[in-house]
Amino acid sequence: MSIEARDIHFRYGRTPVLKDVSFSLVRGRFHALLGPNGAGKSTLFGLMTRLLALQSGELMMAGQSLRKQPAAAMREMGVVFQQNALDLDLTVQQNLLYHAALHGLSRREARARSDRELARFNLSERADDPVRKLNGGHRRRVEIARALLHQPSLLLLDEPTVGLDVASRQTLNEHVRHLCAEDGLTVLWATHLIEEVQPDDRVLILHRGSLRANGEGRDLSEAADRDGIAETFHALTGAGQS
Amino acid sequence: MKAAHYWHCFVGIQSREWLRFWQQRTRFFSALVRPLLWLAVFAAGFRAVLGVSIIPPYQTYITYETYIAPGLCGMIVLFNSMQGALSMVYDRELGSMRVLLMSPLPRPFLLITKLLSMGLVSIGQVYIFLLVARLFDIEPPTLGYLAVLPALMLTSLMLGALGLLIATWVKQLENFAGVMNFVIFPMFFLSSALYPLWKMQEASPWLYWLCQINPFTHAVEAIRFALYLQWNPAAFGITLAVTLVLASLATAGFRPQRTKILPGVA
């Protein structure tokens, strides 16, 4: 059980943004959600995180319907948003404790978990620093630690590497892959950067609101008779031809 | 979800608000300048122009400063609640609303708790204002400071809910200046904050009725009467009823997608 989307349509006013999107993710795997800017990735994230209300179709999060049992579904999800969603003036730990409280954890439990996550993320010595003092890569790591505090089984990241330099981008990507392997997390990593995708990843390609492909990267390339994810992606979306 | 979860969440939202307040304490104190200017300068200038006769809850002739002090308490809450509520909707920079809404607890609970926590911070400001006001001989009975608390809480919740409603539904007012001109100033001036309504009735029956249907008038009167340890069931009741209606409308109608939190969505 992971994420299952069935027949999702979504429109802003009269403009259709998602058209008949259906997929299911493989438990415990790293999934890359690829799409050029404007493909509908953010809208899909908005729907999965209940920022937007479903207009039609169904989203199941670890077996819980987002429409019918939103609370149970939300508990299964850890989310890292595209924009920074940390309080810059509060310390790393204060940010984590706030999130834990929002999930109904007691202060003591929250502290224990936040200490544990920070240690695991090599951030213990930064616990009392205001987030403002951290560099972009570290801030992102804090956001991931925060997303995992309530021990979700799904981790959703919406273009988490935007604004990071190449080195931090790579580190972050490896870090999440490591978490995926270590904790058995099901990861959905939205990006428009193909270099963040590996051939044995599960890949979903979204283009103009439709899902063009969903499968193992290598298989998709074979089926499209292309060499590597980049070419497959370009073939399916017509992007990057110039 | 158990009661303990709600409690931890409630405490967490409150403590974050106070932590933020502490970070921004200079802003907090500079916000006190506005009501104090009204009290020290405006009121001093106007006391000669306006004679205030004996009206309840006061038992003697009072100075104009004494009259407007409760109105200025209302003003502090009005500005803070509106600003806070609007920032809940327009605050795209920090994405803090997105974090709040990722909580599995029901959204109406989260929104009301958030409004309450912002309200408590502005009530702290009201109390500091009232302390400074003692220097201007505004000395309500000691117990009045306690009695006014429920009225202040209701007022802040009512105005916060109104701010949320406006921010969610009125797209044209997308900045604070717009809300200032079309909501805050009309609400403030069309109320009993600065002048007793019988004065307004003499001036224009029309304006008088506008003042009467303005919920802020009743909130100010609830504050005024409570501060002087008198019970004004009409003012309190109207404020309570309007608060309940606005809070349920605001939380039921809260549509984060109308807020353009997703920039350039496609």
Instruction: Say if residue A27 is in the same domain as residue A128.
Output: no
In chain B the first and final C-alpha atoms are separated, in Å, by: 35
Query: From CA B232, how far away is CA B167, in angstroms rounded?
Result: 31
Which of these three, A117, A136, A151, is where a domain ends?
A151
Does a structural domain hold residue A42? yes
* Strands ordered across the beta sheet of A56-61: A15-24, A3-12, A56-61, A64-65
Residue among A54, A80, A98 with most chain B CBs within 10 A, to mutate: A98
A100:B105 CB<8 A: no
- pLDDT value at residue A1: 63
Is A103 close to B9, i.e. CB distance below 8 A? yes
Q: Which domain covers residue A94, as residue numbers?
A: 86-151
Verify that A214 and A101 share a domain, yes or no. no
- Is residue A158 domain-shared with residue A236, that is, in the same domain? yes
Residues A220, A69: Cα–Cα separation, whole Å: 34
For chain A, the farthest-separated pair of C-alpha atoms sits apart, in whole angstroms, at 56
The residue type found at B63 is T
Question: For A87, which of B4, B94, B98 is closest by C-beta distance?
Answer: B94
Does A135 lie in the same domain as A100?
yes
Structural domains in chain A (count)? 2
Residues A145 and A160 grouped into a single domain? no
Residues A162, A71, single domain; the answer is yes
Question: What residue segments make up the domains of chain B, in order of their start?
Answer: 3-258
| CATH for A204 | 3.40.50.300
The answer to whether residues A23 and A134 belong to one domain is no
- Would you call B227 helix, strand, or coil by DSSP? helix
pLDDT of B255 > 70? The answer is no
B105 → closest Cβ in A17, A40, A104: A104
SS (H, E, C) B101-129: HCCCCCHHHHHHHHHHHHHHHHHHHHHHH
Residue B123 has pLDDT above 70, yes or no: yes
How does pLDDT run across B55-109, given as a tens digit for each residue?
A: 778 877 788 888 999 999 999 999 999 888 877 776 644 577 888 888 999 888 9
Token pair 């204002």 is found at B129
Q: Does B6 sit within 8 Å of A86, measured CB to CB?
A: no
Query: Within this chain, do residues A236 and A168 fall inside the same structural domain, yes or no?
Result: yes
The whole-number mean pLDDT for each consecutive block of 10 residues of chain A, a chain of 242 residues, reads 90 88 93 89 89 88 90 92 87 95 94 93 92 92 93 93 87 90 92 88 92 89 86 79 41
- CA B6 to centroid of chain Cα atoms: 25
- Which of A138, A154, A58 minimizes the C-alpha distance to A91? A138
Strands A30-34 and A15-24: unpaired
A107 with A51, same domain? no
For residue A90, give the nearest of B84, B19, B17 by alpha carbon.
B19
Shortest alpha-carbon distance between residue B56 and chain A (Å): 45
Chain A residues within 8 A (CB-CB) of chain B? Answer: 12, 17, 37-40, 42-43, 46, 49-53, 70-72, 74-75, 77, 79, 81, 83-90, 94, 97-107, 110
Mean pLDDT to the nearest integer, B115-136: 93
**B22-57 pLDDT tens trace:** 888 887 777 788 899 888 888 888 777 666 667 778
Please identify, among A95, A126, A151, the residue that sits at the C-terminal boundary of a domain. A151
CA–CA gap between residue B131 and residue A90 (Å, rounded): 30
**Domain ends where: A127, A151, A175?**
A151
Contact B94 A53 (CB under 8 A): no
Beta bridge partners, A3, equal: A61
Q: Are residues A194 and A241 in the same domain?
A: yes
One domain, residues A66 and A96: no
**B209 secondary structure, DSSP code:** H
**Residue A34: strand pairing partners:** A191, A205
Would residue A27 count as lying in a domain?
Answer: yes
What is the structure's pLDDT at A223? 87
Render pLDDT for B148-195 as a digit per residue (tens, 0 to 9).
999 999 999 999 999 888 877 776 666 677 777 888 999 999 999 988
Same domain, A105 and A72: no
A81 domain residue, yes or no? no
* Number of separate helices (H) and strands (E) present in chain B: 14, 0
| Residue A172 covered by a domain | yes
Phi-psi map region of A62: left, alpha, beta (phi>0 left; psi -120 to 50 alpha) = left
User: How near does any CA of chain B get to the CA of A122, in Å?
Assistant: 23
d(CA B41, CA A38): 55
Beta bridge partners, A4, equal A24, A60
| Candidate from B5, B98, B99 with C-beta closest to A104 | B5
List residues of chain B with CB under 8 Å from any CB of chain A.
1-2, 4-6, 8-9, 11-13, 15-16, 19-20, 23-24, 92-96, 98-106, 110, 255-257, 261-262, 264-266
The minimum CA-CA distance between A194 and chain B, rounded to whole Å, is 20
